[in-house]
Chain A
Amino acid sequence: MKDIVISFEEVSRAFGKKRVLDHASFEIAGGEIVAILGASGSGKSVTLKTINGLITPDEGKVEVLGHTVTELSEEELSPMRRRVSYLFQGGALFDSMSVFENIAFPLREHLDLSREELREKVEELLAMVDLEGVGPLSPSELSGGMKKRVAVARALALEPEIILYDEPTTGLDPVTGETIAHLILDLDRRLGVTSVVVTHDIPLVLRVADRVLFLEDGRFDFTGSIEEARSSGPETVRNFFKSGVIHA
């Protein structure tokens, strides 16, 4: 039995009158690839941000890699955040920096590398996402797919133990989408990285996920393997897999 690296215990979060998470609970073990599915606006991204401490829940307990996220201040979250990377939906690259500086940012922030070591590391990361030579470009000069791959390279810079992916393939062509899927699987097999993937991309889920968490009405009432989701899951979950889109 692998260690639990992420746990949600009765977590609730409301925005105004809308209760997005309502006593939601789940656990994720180390090395798992878990897909979080649910209708648009159901709170999937809120769940990811709550894992990382970017959003504080109104009640409940969140534990990540042994850190009780819900009890820590912004400064105290730093050690956990160094071990958990977040791939934002739009990439969230820093506009004022070049691609090189974007990827070098977490390395400069947390490691004491020489200029040469930094250059080598950034080039290695760019090669991992098939983007050699784009270091001097600014993010505005990149296509959507390239931005997302640069964001992946930046997310991998500190060799995280957990990666949180927010819609990693949205807006990408199938070939780039496949590159991302391959990368998620490769990181899991080679380095044992735990991946939590929020997505509407059913082919991606089928390709990479070990387990599915289905978010509906603020709760994760269904959790199981893809086979279980397709055969014995609630109707909404089965519909999701049948049509590839949610009918909520």
Chain B
Amino acid sequence: MIMNLSSLFSGPVQLVALLGGAFRLGWKALLRMVTPPLDLKESLRQLDRIGVGSLNLTNITALFTGMVLAVQSAYTLSKFGARLYIGEIVTLSLVRELGPVLTALMVGGRVGAGITAELGSMTVTEQVDALRSMAADPIRKLVVPRTWATLIMLPLLTVMADAMGILGGMLIAVFQEGLSSSFYFSRVFRTLEMNDLILGLSKPAVFAFIIAIIGCYNGLNARGGADGVGRATTNTVYAASIAILIADFFVTKLMIGLLP
């Protein structure tokens, strides 16, 4: 009975410990991000790895998502004779919701796992302890450059993904539905409002912070050799994906309440 009770509570206890640890790390990182010095060389290296390295993945995802959205909308709208509105539906769905969330999920999987694997391997081979023993701050040296790089690159990747998705929608609109590209783009630009862009770009900033901090936290707390690093990496993909979807709901509610 006691065993059952302890195993029943161990999950929530672990979750609370992870949340508490990640929040503490996030706060410490935030304080160091706004105070010098910044390790510029490491930050540039991370910008390249996180941003440029994710470009193909996020662009291909967005291109095909835009195409699927257009196919689905054309199929549904044609029943009401409203297939001219493909541009509006693809644009709003992508810019307000799918672009930020899908890009974050893709980057969360690739980059979050990469950060955890790298920092986890550094932790279990005592490289993080070596940093501390040389009076260097692991948060400033490891967490801050990765968080800045993710914060800068995720919004840019999202903008690129939005553009690729809209382009994918155009391919279907033109080649399957016989609309002209100028008509499609005129509907796209007429639909887009500043509020859509603000909403679509505020989400990646929040998601980027979540991905970087969860990735770093799990990496810095990896224990038990290669097996431990593997488990930490899986945890990051799992935790980052769930956290992104939960945060998406709250950011959407908040921004819709705040925006006129």
Q: Which residues of A are at the interface with B, using a C-beta cutoff of 8 A?
A: 49, 52, 54, 74-75, 77-79, 81-82, 84-86, 88-90, 92-96, 105-106, 109-110, 158
**Is B127 an interface position by the 8 A CB rule?**
yes
Assembly CA distance A75 to B132 (angstroms): 10
Assembly CA distance A84 to B129 (angstroms): 14
Complex A-B: 15 CB contacts under 8 Å: A74-B137, A75-B137, A77-B135, A78-B135, A79-B135, A85-B133, A86-B133, A88-B126, A93-B127, A93-B130, A94-B127, A94-B130, A95-B121, A95-B125, A110-B135
Report the minimum CB–CB distance from B254 to chain A (whole Å).
34
**Among B121, B126, B136, contact of A109 (Cβ-Cβ < 8 Å):** B136
Assembly CA distance A77 to B45 (angstroms): 29
Residues of B within 8 A of A92 (CB): 125-127, 129-130
How does the 8 Å CB contact mask read for B106-138 relative to A, with 1 for contact and 0 for none?
000000000000000110011101101111110
Residues of B within 8 A of A89 (CB): 126
Residues of B within 8 A of A81 (CB): 132-135
Assembly CA distance A92 to B121 (angstroms): 11
Report the minimum CB–CB distance from A215 to chain B (whole Å).
20
Residues of A within 8 A of B129 (CB): 49, 54, 86, 88, 92
Q: Is the CB of A54 within 8 A of B133?
A: yes
Q: Which residues of B are at the interface with A, using a C-beta cutoff of 8 A?
A: 45, 121-122, 125-127, 129-130, 132-137
Q: Is the CB of B134 within 8 A of A109?
A: yes
Residues of B within 8 A of A96 (CB): 45
Assembly CA distance A158 to B136 (angstroms): 13
Residues of B within 8 A of A49 (CB): 129
Report the minimum CB–CB distance from B90 to chain A (whole Å).
41
Nearest CB to that of A75 among chain B residues? B137
Main secondary structure of the interface of B (DSSP, over half): helix
Residues of B within 8 A of A52 (CB): 133
Q: Is the CB of A82 within 8 A of B135?
A: yes
Max chain A C-beta neighbours (<10 A), residue from B121, B126, B136: B126
Nearest CB to that of B128 among chain A residues? A92
Assembly CA distance A169 to B150 (angstroms): 41
Residues of A within 8 A of B45 (CB): 96
Report the minimum CB–CB distance from B244 to chain A (whole Å).
27
Q: Is the CB of A95 within 8 A of B126?
A: no
Nearest CB to that of A151 among chain B residues? B130
**Among A74, A79, A105, contact of B132 (Cβ-Cβ < 8 Å):** A74
Nearest CB to that of B118 among chain A residues? A96
Nearest CB to that of B45 among chain A residues? A96
Residues of B within 8 A of A110 (CB): 135
Max chain B C-beta neighbours (<10 A), residue from A106, A110, A158: A106
Given A85-B133, A94-B127: 8 more A-B contacts, CB < 8 Å: A79-B135, A86-B129, A89-B126, A90-B125, A93-B130, A105-B134, A109-B134, A109-B136
Nearest CB to that of B41 among chain A residues? A101
Residues of A within 8 A of B126 (CB): 88-90, 92
Q: Is the CB of B135 within 8 A of A95?
A: no
Assembly CA distance A85 to B135 (angstroms): 10
Nearest CB to that of A55 among chain B residues? B129
Assembly CA distance A131 to B235 (angstroms): 41
Assembly CA distance A49 to B122 (angstroms): 17
Nearest CB to that of A89 among chain B residues? B126
Nearest CB to that of A52 among chain B residues? B133
Nearest CB to that of B121 among chain A residues? A95
Assembly CA distance A92 to B133 (angstroms): 11
**Among B122, B134, B136, contact of A95 (Cβ-Cβ < 8 Å):** B122
Assembly CA distance A237 to B68 (angstroms): 74
Assembly CA distance A106 to B134 (angstroms): 6
Assembly CA distance A93 to B130 (angstroms): 8
Assembly CA distance A105 to B105 (angstroms): 35
Residues of A within 8 A of B135 (CB): 77-79, 81-82, 109-110
Residues of B within 8 A of A54 (CB): 129, 132-133
